[in-house]
Structure 1
Amino acid sequence: MLKSKATIKDVAELAGVSIKTVSRVTNQEGSVRKETLQRVTQAIEQLNYQPNTAARNLAGRKSYALGYVYDNPNAYYVLDMQNGILEECRERGYELVIHPCSATNESIIDELATMVKKSQLAGLIISPPLSEMPDVLTGLDQLNIPYIRVISASHVDGDTSPCVYINDRDAAYEITEHLIQQGHEKIAFLRGDECHRSSHERKIGYLEALRNYGLMADESYQIDGSYSFEFGVAGAKQLLALQDPPTSIFSCNDEIAAGALFAVRLAGLDVPSQIAIAGFEDSPFSRQTWPKLTTAAQPTISIARKTTASFIKYLANQQSGKAKLDAVPHLQFKPQLVLRESTLLDGDNSNVE
């Protein structure tokens, strides 16, 4: 059975061509071989594909507007990204279009192409998980839509597109190392959403620290879930129900950590003397709990501003013909360890924020 609404990706797959080729056909550019044109036309008819006229002819006059595209469960992260991008755009005379969307939408490429054309955007700033989805990036590349992406990684070999790397792995290593240095050997890990690369990177850092200090990575201490307070509660309850529960919990973000703290205190345990809890990101959750949470500070507003400034410069170089491969922006940030009372025993407060 056919989908209720075919996408440009569906047409490309059925015809065995790229998304860009389908775009050339629907735009009647005349640069497509006859046999290819026939295959694409047949696919369009078979799928009853209706190209959106607003998504055609993406190339146009110079634009002074950017789009921020996101699908992220962390409201604090999204708000900080929006504010940082908006501040930089205002200083540089750019407009900003904010576009929430669903990363699982099968028509996501058509949706983004339409948005770029309707709003006459110069390019897109993309955050996780969209920025970490190969199909989305390939679709944008084939439609020649400029973008810069923010991803969780220290680097990506061979990456030729503008990118901002957040080194979550090393930051997670430092948090785990801190817990080990506090005397903990039974360290649990509550992981975030599967579709976010940050969940994997932070777990890798956690496992590397355990391995380097000669500690066993107990699988019963590693629970997969989502970036939510509710998962933190449920995950902590699951850990406390173990015959040999952990003495510390490293949560993949502060919201999970706040939920874990709630469950632990509900169970009548003291933090940190009976169980220590650490989070990640330094969101308001980390400062609104009692005790306050040890975490890794991710300066999202600063990251957003520098990302935007770098992208605008890159776009200007492209438009002037000065762009070079070695000039493609690749920025790197590493969240910094912030020590607070949730992991520090009495008398060890010399480095507390």
Structure 2
Amino acid sequence: MKVTINDVAKLAGVSMKTVSRVINKEPSVRQKTYDQVMEAVKALNYQPNIAARNLAGTSSFAIGLVYDNPNAYYVIDMQNGVLSRCKDEGYELIIHPCDSTADDMEEEFRTMIKRSRLAGLVLTPPLSEQQKIIDLLDELGILYVRLLSGRSEDAEHSASNCIFVDDYTAAYEITEHHIAHGHHNIAFVLGDKEHKSTSERLAGYLDALKAHDIALDESLLFQGTYSFESGVQGAKSLLANNNEKGITAILGGNDEVAAGALFAARLMNIAIPEQLSISGFEDSPFSRQTWPKLTTAHQANNVISEHAARLLFSKARGNRKQDKELQTVFTPSIVVRESTGRRSQ
């Protein structure tokens, strides 16, 4: 097997960060430490690759997590996952929130990378889905890993720097959960239109209806955003006029949306789940802070982001075989709670 920087660090009895400093001939390393590391390098015949040296050569020893998401729980989970890997590798983590719709996004990325001397980036949706950002990072020669909404077939035909979340399958299964409980008039409050997760979750919902010979009623679709307020607005619109559409279940684009829909239903004196079943997506703390607690799809964002960081460091070492092994698809699993039940007769 190929000797890695981790092997050198173990033999020398130092951290990977120290090995990187020695290899890049930084003046701050003590002579005794330098000699220990070089002896280990010689004993193992370690040959650092260019990508690894680029990663190790940044003075800040930092990677970046870039996001545009108003959900604080999502951001914290993503941050904790990447940070746990950074600690193991001896690197710092720089968090960079931004507006993915801003006209000067490319310039913002250039400035951030130059100012922080970042070694690599973990990109979350919708930034990871923007080709202009990907093209810019390729132009700058920056290592990156993309978190994307997608299925197994997407992973098979993608580059090795992508981690996928199968929103389609999870949405299909949640919709089937409602159908199995006798619901046919199932409304859907969608998330942000520009997020691929929105279109993937919608596709799963539509295909589940089709598989059970349930005709689509487009009036049961509400285009919203991934926010509590959107859930409130969507539910009020869908359930207006004493629920003249006969809706018995609502699918929320995420848990915030579902929590908002539940709140609106309670204001309208609709019993949950006796008169209306509601489900969310992602299994964020929102899903456990409502009453009743929300049925949802568990998405382990901390595990997903830690895996993305692991892939980033693997790519830095030029381990192509490991890169392909680390590229994977995470499928959220259904968590059934008290907010869903059988359709009342």
- Give the TM-score category using the shorter length: 0.7 to 0.9
Query: 5+ residue gaps in structure 2?
Result: 1-53
**Identical-pair percentage:** 49
Output the CA distance in 2 between the equivalents of 1:329 and 1:109: 29
Q: 1:168 deviation in Å?
A: 0.4
Q: Do 1:314 and 1:328's aligned partners in 2 also have CA atoms closer than 8 Å?
A: no
| Contact residue 191 and residue 223 of structure 2 kept, 8 A | yes
**Equivalent in the alignment of 2:42:** none
What's the CA shift string for 1:289-346, capped at 9, x where partnerless?
A: 11100000000111111111121111112xxxx5479748522101000000100359
Could you tell me which residue of structure 1 aligns to residue 222 of structure 2? 223
Aligned to 2:145: 148
How far the C-alpha of 1:104 sits from its partner, in A, is 1.6
Residues 137 and 325 of structure 1: CA distance in aligned 2, closer, same or farther (over 3 Å): farther
User: In the alignment, which residue of structure 2 is the partner of 1:175?
Assistant: 174
CA change 1:326–1:296 in 2 (3 A) is: closer
Structure-1 residue corresponding to 2:183: 184
For 1:244, the aligned partner's letter is K
Helix, strand or coil at the partner of 1:291: coil
Matched, 1:342 2:339: yes
**Structure 2 residue aligned with 1:75, among 72, 77, 87?**
72
Q: What residue number does 1:248 align with?
A: 249
2:85 maps to 88
1:268 is paired with a residue of what secondary structure? coil
**Deviation digits for residues 244-300 of structure 1 (CA, Å, limit 9, x no counterpart):** 231000111010101100111111111111110000000111101111000000001
CA distance in 2, matches of 1:248, 1:259: 14
Q: Which has the higher helix share?
A: 2
- The structure-2 alpha-carbon separation of the partners of 1:328 and 1:130, relative to structure 1 and needing over 3 Å to count, comes to farther
User: Displacement, 1:83?
Assistant: 1.1
Is the contact between residue 155 and residue 329 of structure 2 (CA under 8 Å) also seen in structure 1? no
Residues 100-111 of structure 1 correspond to what in structure 2 (within 5 A)? 100-111=97-108
In 2: Cα distance, 1:139 partner to 1:108 partner: 10
Contact 2:155-2:328 within 8 A present in 1 as well? no
Q: Which residue is 1:279 aligned to?
A: 280
Assess, with a 3 A threshold, how the Cα gap between structure 1 residues 333 and 137 changes in structure 2: closer, same or farther. Answer: same
Match of 1:62 in 2: 57
SS of the aligned residue for 2:145 comes to strand
Q: Identify if the C-alpha distance between structure 1 residues 326 and 231 changes in structure 2 by more than 3 Å, giving closer, same or farther.
A: closer
Q: Are positions 1:313 and 2:308 aligned together?
A: no
The CA distance in 2 between the partners of 1:60 and 1:253, in whole Å, is 36
Offset of residue 145 of structure 1: 1.5
Shift, 1:74, TM fit: 1.4
Q: Deviations over 1:69-117 (max 9, x none)?
A: 1111211101110111111101211111111111122222222122222
Question: Structure 1 residue 333 and structure 2 residue 334: aligned?
Answer: no
Residue 207 of structure 1: how far off its partner (Å): 0.4
Within a 5 Å distance, the mapping from 1:12-31 to structure 2 comes to none
Tell me the alpha carbon deviations over residues 109-133 of structure 1, each in whole angstroms, 9 at most, x when there is no partner: 2221222222222110000110011
Letter in 2 for 1:92: E
Q: How many residues align?
A: 284
RMSD, aligned α-carbons: 1.9
1:228 is aligned with what amino acid?
S
Q: Which one scores higher on RCO, CA 8 angstroms, separation ≥ 6?
A: 2
Which of the residues 79, 94, 99 maps onto 1:97?
94
